[in-house]
Each structure stands twice: as structure tokens, then as C-alpha cells.
Amino acid sequence: MKLDDLGNWRRTHKCREITEQLDGQEVIVMGRVGDIRDLGGIKFFILHDISGSIQITASRKKTDPETLSKMDALTQESSVAVRGKVVKARQAPRGVEVVPSEIRILNLAATPLPLDPGGKVKANLDTRLDARGLDLRRAEAIAIFKIRNQALKTIRDYLLSQGFIEVQTPKIVATATESGAALFPISYFDREAFLSQSPQLYKEVLTGAFDRVFEVGPIFRAEEHDTPRHLNEATSIDIEAAYLTAGDVMEILEELIWRAFDSVKRNCAEELRILNHRLEMPEKPFPRITYDEAIEKLNAAGININWGEDLSTPAERKLAEIIGGAYFIVDWPLALKPFYTLPKGDKLGDAFDLMYRELELASGGSRIHSEEMLVKQMKEKGLNPENFESHLLSYRYGLPPHAGFGLGLDRLTMVLTGAENIRECVLFPRDRRRLTP
Ligand code: ATP
Ligand code: MG
């Protein structure tokens, strides 16, 4: 079939803007075709755009043959433009419909579809991710990404209002920053390089010039685990600020999380309804418990953790049962935190994790700003300071004391949308088995 050109047609209205007030008016709407129904004498289809949907209705008797034959040729998910008249119609889903005078079929979708974006037939996650471009047309998927977008906008606005400057640091790097997580090696001309695990070292250096910086960008982790909360490429919201401590950036983080919840609750009521998710506002201030208190509570609850051990998944689940909601775990054993963590006394680091129930949302803390101490701690962690030579150079010229955190945007989106798998919250997730689409 020959397709039509868009030509000089442009939308006069989005679907949601077609209301009874426009009764009798001529409009042009564009979008994708949803449900198609044929009652013999009358043919309908639902047109969807990002704003919503509108019913297009043509009676066989009153519609010209060309428009009718186009109505007959339509398949679900095709892209179309419709010029027509708005008509009040009690039977239509929104009490109003468009009666077409001309239809342009801009692209025709193949049949059968690999999945039903209308959501009537449920597909499993793998099938959906294989056809992600189509899967993202589902109302639930659109709702997730609208919520993610709303949260990110709120966070960005807040950080900008607090004097943070948004930066972009290199993603091709020479060394590791998070000793725990593995690196993806890449070939960089005749040398080996890596994909960046976090903007940590760069953002620390930048506090010397810009005082407060933040970055929203990808982090790459060659972790082999297959869990509902880990991906090999994730998006992190990283901040770093001069002349502040862990306690100060915890307050910034708390405010930013609270505002993200609040703005999603106020601006995304329809999306939350589509996802059937009741978002409970966390109460400020979030509880702060020390690592010592956490293991005390766990040991009392029958989960044995020796001092110095990391909290296992069952331990995190138990803590979530005991404390619930959003809470901070502070004052970690230094050995469990990265080399750049500022020590607090002999054995502790001035570092924190922000948890939401059993999910770690963010990690942060006060950082070392003395070159000597940084070198000492690198050695203690089995890292070779020679590999960090260019980074250490910036410590020689009066780098200010500073603190910051990394907050996982994909994990925050899980919490805000009620998604149980992080893959739902990322457009094209990268995991152990998935590199396409
Ligand atoms: P976890 O213990 O859950 O594996 P982590 O402590 O290794 O996380 P950090 O290095 O502290 O992670 O990174 C800061 C934040 O970035 C985390 O709190 C999390 O929200 C997010 N993040 C880290 N790794 C991943 C990942 N593989 N997939 C998704 N998000 C991640
Ligand atoms: Mg962490």
C-alpha cells in the first residue's frame, strides 16, 4: 500500500485537548492506532498520542470512499493523521469523538505484533524487552518514564537552586574508583582503558574549582550478579560539595528525596493510578541509625552479623521490617567503604547509605582531602598510588574538604513507581545477558 506524506499538515490539538467545548470544530490529530472495531455500518478506532486518546468514528454511509478504504486498511500501532470534525457522542469513551473527513496513513504497522501495547494480552519481561520500542508504548511503561522524568526535573531544579553546577565528566577512564565493583575494559587506540564506574574522582577535583557540582550520567559496572536491582549500565545522580560534611549532604539528599516524592505525588496522580501504586510520603527527618545499632538490632532479631561484615540481603530485609521507609545507616566500618572515605576515629568512616526499605538508594560521605592520607588509604586497600598519579596531583594544590553522594536514579524510579524489577525503569537495560536492543 502506498503511504501518505505528512505534507503541510500539523497537529491542531493533542488528543487530550479534544473536549466537548470543541463540538463542531475542525481539527487535525496525529498518533498511533489502538483498538479497531467494525460494527458493519460504523467503524471506530482509538487514536493515541502522548497526551491521551480520542475515538475516531466513521459511518459507512456518510464517509467518502477513500477515507473509508483507509479506515479498512489500518492496523494496530500504525501512525496516522486525521482531519475531521469534533462531535459530542455520549457512547464515546470520553463523551466526544472525531468524525474524519480525510485520513493520512503515514506508516502501517506489520501484523501480528510481537506484543500488545494495549495491554490486553500480557507478555513476559524478556519478550517485552526484545521488542522494547513497542513495549514502551504501553500506558504503564509511559507512566514509569513520566514519573522518572518528573523526579529528575525536581532533583535538578533543587540542586541548581542550592548553587550546584551541572557537569559532565569523562566516561572513558584509566583507573577504577570503586574498588569493589569490576571494570569493563575497552581498547583505547594502543592502550587499555575502562568504562567509568562512577564520576567520583572527577567530581571531587571539581569541588576545588566550582565549589558544588552534580552530574546525572551513566555508571558502568561489570558485576556478574543477576538481581532485580542491578544493571551493568545504570544512571547515577552524583553530587559533591566543598566545605560540607557527610551530615550536611545527608540533609541535601533527604530534602531531594522528599521533594521527588512530593512532586511525583502532586504532578503524576494519573500515572500512579495507571501503575496502581500508592506512594507514601517519607517523613522528615529520615531515621539515622549507626552501623553498630543496625547489627545490634539484627543480632537481637536472630540475624547474626559480626562487626566489620557487610549487611547481607537477608539482613537488609530484616532491617526494612524493623525500620521501614527511608532511613540512613551511618558510621560504617572504614574497611567496608571506598578508599576516598574520610576516617572517623580509628575504625570508622564518615560515610552513609540511604536505604528505602531493603533497597540501597544512595551511598555517600565525607571524603579525604589530604594527599598523604589518600595515599595511605589507597595502600591499605591494596591499590597502587602510581595508578592514580594524575588524580593525586590535584590534591597537592589545596583541594578543599568536601562531601557528596551517588544516588541511583533507576532505583529511585523503582521506589517511586512500585516497579519490582529495575529493568522496568530503564529504557534499554543492559544486564549480563542483554546487549540489545
Ligand atoms: P549495591 O551494594 O546495591 O550493589 P553499591 O554500594 O555497589 O550498590 P555504590 O557504588 O554505592 O553502589 O553506588 C551508588 C548508588 O548507585 C547505589 O546506591 C545504587 O543506587 C546505584 N547503583 C550502584 N550500582 C548499581 C547497579 N549495578 N545497578 C543499578 N544501580 C546501581
Ligand atoms: Mg553503596
pLDDT in tens, the chain (437 residues): 899 999 999 999 999 999 999 999 999 999 999 999 999 899 999 999 999 999 999 999 999 999 999 999 999 999 999 999 999 999 999 999 999 999 999 999 999 999 999 988 899 999 999 999 999 999 999 999 999 999 999 999 999 999 999 999 999 998 876 665 689 999 999 998 999 999 999 999 999 999 999 999 999 999 888 999 999 999 999 999 999 999 999 999 999 999 999 999 999 999 999 999 999 999 999 999 999 999 999 999 999 999 999 999 999 999 999 998 999 999 999 999 999 999 999 999 999 999 999 999 999 999 999 999 999 999 999 989 998 899 999 999 999 999 999 999 999 999 999 999 999 999 999 999 999 99
* Sign of the dihedral through C-alpha 137, 138, 141, 147: positive
> 79: which strand partners?
32, 107
8 Å CB contact between 366 and 342: yes
Catalytic, 32? Answer no
Task: Write down the pLDDT at residue 180.
Answer: 55
Query: How far, in Å, CA of 255 to CA of 158, rounded?
Result: 9
Q: Please, how many CA atoms are within 13 Å of residue 50, restricted to the half-sphere of its CB? A: 5
Helix axes 139-161, 409-417, angle to 10 degrees: 120
Task: Write down the pLDDT at residue 37.
Answer: 95
3-state secondary structure of 45: strand
Nearest to 371 by CA among 354, 389, 396, 351: 396
Catalytic, 402? Answer no
289 Cβ neighbours under 8 A, 6+ residues apart: 297, 323, 327, 328, 329, 330
| CA diameter of the chain | 87
pTM: 0.96
178 is in an annotated binding site: yes
> Is there an atom of ligand 1 within 6 Å of 178 CB?
yes
The cell for 295 is: 547489627
- Strand pairing category for 212-220 and 165-166: parallel
Query: How far, in Å, CA of 339 to CA of 391, rounded?
Result: 13
37 is in an annotated binding site: no
Catalytic, 223? Answer yes
> Is there an atom of ligand 1 within 6 Å of 341 CB?
no
Task: Give the chain's domains with CATH numbers.
Answer: 15-107 (2.40.50.140), 134-287+323-425 (3.30.930.10)
Ligand nearest to the CA of residue 359, numbered in listed order: 1
The cell for 266 is: 502532586
- How far is CA 72 from its chain centroid? 40
> Is there an atom of ligand 1 within 6 Å of 181 CB?
yes
Task: Write down the pLDDT at residue 387.
Answer: 87
Nearest to 98 by CA among 31, 168, 181, 169: 31
Ligand nearest to the CA of residue 257, numbered in listed order: 1
3-state secondary structure of 286: coil
Catalytic, 433? Answer no
Residue with the smallest CA separation from ligand 1 atom 2 is 360
CA of 128 to the centre of ligand 1 (A): 25
Task: Write down the pLDDT at residue 181.
Answer: 63
Q: Please, how many CA atoms are within 13 Å of residue 211, restricted to the half-sphere of its CB? A: 6
Query: How far, in Å, CA of 230 to CA of 410, rounded?
Result: 9
Catalytic residue, from 102, 140, 223, 371: name it: 223
Residue with the smallest CA separation from ligand 1 atom 20 is 408
Catalytic, 360? Answer yes
337 Cβ neighbours under 8 A, 6+ residues apart: 349, 351, 365
Catalytic residue, from 13, 132, 411, 423: name it: 411
The cell for 6 is: 505528512
- The strands making up 191-195's β-sheet, listed across from edge to edge, are 172-173, 191-195, 185-188
CA of 432 to the centre of ligand 1 (A): 16
> Is there an atom of ligand 1 within 6 Å of 221 CB?
yes
Helix axes 313-323, 291-300, angle to 10 degrees: 90
* Sign of the dihedral through C-alpha 81, 82, 86, 87: negative
Atom of ligand 1 nearest to the CA of 180: 7
Catalytic, 221? Answer yes
CA of 408 to the centre of ligand 1 (A): 6
132 Cβ neighbours under 8 A, 6+ residues apart: 427, 428, 437
Query: How far, in Å, CA of 149 to CA of 413, rounded?
Result: 9
Catalytic, 411? Answer yes
3-state secondary structure of 329: strand
Query: How far, in Å, CA of 274 to CA of 373, rounded?
Result: 52
408 is in an annotated binding site: yes
Ligand nearest to the CA of residue 405, numbered in listed order: 1
